[in-house]
Amino acid sequence: MVNVVNVGGVSMSRNVLICGNDLLVEAILQHNIVQDKEISFIWYQKDVEFPHSVQDILNSAVMAKNLRLTATNTPEWNDIDLLLIGKSESASEKDLTFEESLRAEIHWTQLLINQAMANNFAGKVCFLTEHGEEQVFSALRFSGLPDNAIFGLGTLPLSMLVEKMISNILKIDVRQIHVSVLGTFADAVPAWSRGLVAGTPLLSLIAQENSLFTQNELTKIEERLKESSEKSLLPVILASIDCVFEALFSSFAQIIPLTHQVQVDEQKIAISEPVLLSTQGVSQLPTLNLSEDEKQKLVDIKDQVLSQIQSLMSGR
């Protein structure tokens, strides 16, 4: 199963265990089959017998030359470099309240992490669900893994969406645009005050006469973020996972917003803010110098996440 490649003269394995049978997990696998990079995907299954939908995707991997895809209910945990955790089957059911979905995901998280740690897992963990803040906190609390090893995709897809929308408005290469979206997937704060376009402060463009970029454009982008769903964001979610793979499996680190553990007064929570992601995992960066309005919005979001975590811990 071990897939080893040479990166900058250093041998590095790329073994990814992906968990969940939801549409996002299937899309990730199909996307990577097309990309055909040197990655070994192991698809975790709870049962010995695989459903037809799983077998169909396994069969489609015949098109890949470099990528390897297998499925198992007994993975070799000590060989895994990255554990990607999607939705549990119970959390994917319709008509669940937010709290019911959250508790289903936390139970799923505990089941997987307990199994991993009992079998000498020492890799990284990335959560893909809307409950990433609580899952990161929970996994760090009972796994024994270091803080830098556990993170969530968080607001990275939203950041990539914002950058692409600005690129389309200004007709400028998206690689020249840098805007971080902070907070959570459900409650996101674009850090407009720190945004850059080809090294120029984003907000300075609004002040220019006859500028293509106006306050009205910012408002439209913020409204689009609030309307976003997993389905509408699927292309940028897949691009975000590509970005994570690039950082973890190559010699090029990335500065991107991910859900990670932070300190709020004397409490620990998880929130999406820019971090340095590399082969070593997540490294925190100095606090962004935000506008007063952005600071207050982020404080409110952190308080809300803390309340959800405290409620979860108390069993309410």
Q: What is the pLDDT of residue 176?
A: 96
Closest CA to 249 of 281, 285, 284: 281
Q: What share of the chain is helix, strand, coil (3-state, %, to 5)?
A: 45, 25, 35
CB 192 within 8 A of CB 294: yes
The amino acid sitting at 251 is: S
Closest CA to 212 of 179, 165, 159: 165
262 has which bridge partners?
A: 269
Q: How much is the pTM? A: 0.92
Q: Which CATH superfamily is domain 4-152 in?
A: NAD(P)-binding Rossmann-like Domain (3.40.50.720)
Q: How far apart are CA 154 and CA 212, in angstroms?
A: 30
pLDDT tens for 54-82 read 999 999 999 999 999 999 999 999 999 99
Q: How far apart are CA 87 and CA 104, in angstroms?
A: 9
CB 179 within 8 A of CB 195: yes
pLDDT tens for 134-186 read 999 999 998 999 999 999 999 999 999 999 999 999 999 999 999 999 999 99
Q: Cα–chain-centroid distance for residue 252?
A: 18
Residues belonging to the chain: 316
